[in-house]
Structures are given as structure tokens and as C-alpha cells.
Amino acid sequence: MSSLNLDDFSDLIERPDGGVRRDAEARRERQVVPPGSLGRLDDLGEWLSAAQSAVPVRPVERPRVVLFAGDHKVAELGVSARPAGSAGQLVREVLEGGRPVSVLARRLGVPVRVVDMALDCDPQSLPAEVVRHRVRRGGGRIDVEDALTPEEAEAAFRAGVAVADEEADSGTDLVVLGDVSVGGTTAAGVLVAALCGTDASVVTGRGGLAIDDLAWMRKCAAIRDALRRARPVLGDQLQLLATVGGADLTAMTGFLLQSAVRKMPVLLDGVVSAACALVGQRIAFRAPDWWLAAHDSGEPGQAKALDRMALEPLLSHGVTVGEGAGGLLALPLVQAAAALAAELPERPAKSGTDTAEDAAADGSADTAGQA
């Protein structure tokens, strides 16, 4: 029997400080630019203040991209435009600087961390720091078998918790969370459909490389079959992840929950991180208050999950590549919100003479009105 009690997260996770947020709102009302004129940037700045328990808000100076990686055996069914077991090559390209997330991270000066949880490749082919949390090589084919054993699921969840602690302890002040996977969007679709009580067709998207109609039908069938296996275990979130998730998705869920415990804000990248967040919400209902949806990837499963959590994407640029790229595009927006909230000057306070004159004028106007 597992010694991991997920119910503890409901007690450990607090909401961002509401009193601080009210102070931030009051400060915003005193600034030279009228409240509301900066649109959603006002809300972002106030949210960050509450998350940091600081007024004025501190700048986001130590962000980090964290990518959990894994291969999903369901990709053997032809549900992805990439060949099954090829996520390891994507990881190598990320590390070598050849993926969109690598380019954006260089431009923005943000370090990228890749955590191998279940890549189907020789661990010797990757740096030791990348593979040290690996739970297994590849995951079970979720339409006919469990993705993980219960022991592997617990190990993966604990690994995600440990990575969140490592980031918080190192001073990371905001995480862009993404995945590097092949078949991961299929597993994510199953989780979203199961938790939202909907059919496979409602959550089945075309993935990062836009699969054709025939592959979409195969993916929809795989999600439908896995969904039948998921429904009986909906009451046990760890078992749900073991049945139809995978080591990377299980670790991401643990990471998200522990980030909320440590009061470390997270930008969710695409459908995989959104699905894990939805599982996290089932475990601890206050946890989504620590997360932002970076962008709309166009995946129907992501839209369904974000709607259920009442998270509105910051951007909508049609970026489907995954791997944290869309999340990184939203990062400058969050940093801009913090800078504006902290650095815009407040309106000069009225002098005592002006206040008295204003009061006298108001009194005269009232008298005139009564006459």
C-alpha cells in the first residue's frame, strides 16, 4: 500500500494572499495611469503581488523552463505524426539548442531544465542530470494496459515533488512548465475527458504536427478505449495517472501541486500541462490559484481543461509545437505586468489647502443645488 497521501495537499496549499492583493489593487488605483487602461496587465500585476505577498510586486528575475519528458507506447497506434519512441531525439535537440524553446530561452535568458521520466532510449545517451529521475523506459499502451505500476506512479509523483522543491530552494521565482513527449497529448486527452465527463471526440486534437484525418480517427479510438479503463478509477487520482497517464504526466502533477505548496507561480504551456493541472485541481481545489494559462494551443482538450479550472489563456498565437515554447512567449507579458505595477508612479497627493478648498467648493455646490 502507498504511503503517499494526496489529501495532504488540500491542507498544505493556501491561496495567494487576498489582503495583499487588495493592497495591490489600492496601489494601482493611485497610479498615474487610470485603472483598467492596461487591460489584463493590471490583473497580472495584482496576482503576482498576492503570490509574492509583496506590494509593490517584485520583478520576475529568475524564471525557469522545466520540461518533463517521456515516451508513450500508445504512439505505436499511429496517433502521432512522430514515430513511437522518438522523444529522446527531441530532448537531445532541446539540449543542443535546436528546438523553438531553446531559441526563445536563449533570447530571453531563461535556463531550460529537462527531466527524463520515461524516455524510450538508452539513459547513457543523455546527461546524468537529465535522466536521474527516470522511472522506467517508455510507458504502457494505455488503451489496453496501465501506463505505470502503482509503485512507478508513486515514484514519478515524488520525483515531480522533488523537482519543485529543488527549483523553489534554488530561488526560481516562476516556472514555465511543459513536456517533451510522443503520444503525450493522447494521454492528456484521456485525463481531460475522464475528469470532465465528456466523450473522446470532444477532446481529441491533432497534436503539435497536425496529424491527418486518418491518424485523428485512430487517436480518437485510442482515447475512447483508454477512457473505458480510466472511468473505474476516477476516485483515486494517483491510480488514474498510473492507468492512463504516464510517468511524465504523473511527475508534472506532483510538480504542480508542490509548486503551489511552495508558493511558486507556474505558467502552463499546452494541453499536457493543462491535463495535469486538472488532475491537480481534483486533488487540491486551491492549487489552480497559483497557475496561469500561458496560451491557447488550439487543442480542444486544453480548452476544456482550462475552462473547467476557470483559467483564461494570456495569448492566442496558434503555437502548437509544445515543449514550453508557447509558455515562454507569455513570460515577457508577465514580466511587463510586474514592472508596470512596481514602477509606475503614484499620483501626487492633494495638499491640505487644496483639500480644504475642494471641500468648500463641494459645500457651495451642495448649497446651490438645494437652493
Closest among 296, 247, 243 to 270, alpha carbons compared: 296
Are 105 and 217 in contact by the 8 Å Cβ rule? The answer is no
What is the full DSSP assignment across 31-79?
BSSPTTTTTHHHHHHHHHHHHHT-SSPPP---EEEEEEEEE-GGGGGS-
**Helices in 83-212 by DSSP H: which ranges?**
87-96, 100-108, 128-131, 150-169, 184-196, 200-203
Q: At what angle do helices 213-230 and 184-196 cross, to 10 degrees?
A: 50
Contacts of 173 (CB under 8 A, 6+ apart): 52, 58, 60, 61, 62, 63, 264, 265
Please give the positions annotated as active site. 323
- Measured over the CA atoms of residue 332, residue 335, residue 337 and residue 343, the dihedral's sign is negative
DSSP characters over 222-287: HHHHHHHHHGGGTT-HHHHHHHHT-HHHHHHHHHHHHHHHTT--EEE-SHHHHHHHHHHHHH-TTG
Nearest 5°: the CA angle 274, 209, 106 is 70
The string of DSSP codes covering 323-338 is TTHHHHHHHHHHHHHH
